[in-house]
Amino acid sequence: MAGNATTMGHLALHYSPAAEGPKAAKLLRLLGFSETQMLPLPGGNFYRFVVNDSHHAAGDGVIYLSAVPQPQQNLVDAVHAALKIGQADQHPSVAGMRAMLEADPEASFHLGFLVPSLERLEEIVLALQEGAANDPDLQDRVELTFNRARLGDTDVDGRLDASPVFGSVTRYAYGRNGVQVFIKTDLLKSGALGENTVLELDYVFPGTTSHILSVVEL
Ligand SMILES: [Fe+2]
């Protein structure tokens, strides 16, 4: 790390209820993060992950995972009751928020991670799809959405056409030369309604300064 440069330090993610901890940790491992610590606590395990092994003893690249604290859970429960979520007379703002996130998973709070190769990203996605199909801990808990790079670069378009993950994708990113994978999961709780979390995995093709993470295109 450059001596004077600030880096992204850590994220605090939460699961609920306590018994969901091992499943949430399994998901983070499938995403390629390394678990460096697991502390069993009465209210639910506390985990420390790092985004890659070079961060094992570092103060950045860290993800903490723990149970939703009870005061936060009380607030989420009160919000759900006040808005009558799931009932016939549910507050109309709930459907509006859900429709927005259905159309664009990154329209509200989410967390993005950059993956170093397209092959590694494809490997992670295939493992996630396998887990979501066959692992009872992940079945019905993970929803994936994909954005391809905007069309226009022959090499990028050809590589994505041939991809087992992106070949059939018809959604496009707000930029070029990169791809996005959104993982919506209720194994992690955050956001305005405290119901789920959107994680994003990105890959950016090398050798270009205009890509999905450098320039937003409308
Ligand atoms: Fe994003």
Instruction: Residue 166: name the closest of 176, 154, 178, 183 by CA.
Output: 178
- pLDDT number for residue 36: 97
Of the chain, the percentage scoring pLDDT greater than 70 comes to 99
Gap from CA of 111 to ligand 1 centroid (Å): 7
Gap from CA of 183 to ligand 1 centroid (Å): 11
Dist. CA 46–CA 75, nearest whole Å: 21
- pLDDT number for residue 201: 98
Dist. CA 211–CA 196, nearest whole Å: 28
Gap from CA of 201 to ligand 1 centroid (Å): 9
Which residues, given as ranges, of the chain have pLDDT below 70?
Answer: 1-2
Four-CA torsion 108, 61, 201, 103, nearest 10 degrees: 0
pLDDT in tens, 45-80: 999 999 999 999 999 999 999 999 999 999 999 999
| Model pTM score | 0.95
Strand order in the sheet with 62-67: 10-15, 62-67, 46-50, 34-39
Gap from CA of 162 to ligand 1 centroid (Å): 24
Domains of the chain: 1-67 (3.10.180.10), 71-103 (no CATH), 105-218 (no CATH)
φ, ψ for residue 77 (rounded to 5)?
-60, -40
- pLDDT number for residue 207: 86
Q: 191 in the Ramachandran plot: left (φ > 0), alpha (ψ -120 to 50) or beta?
A: left
- pLDDT number for residue 215: 86
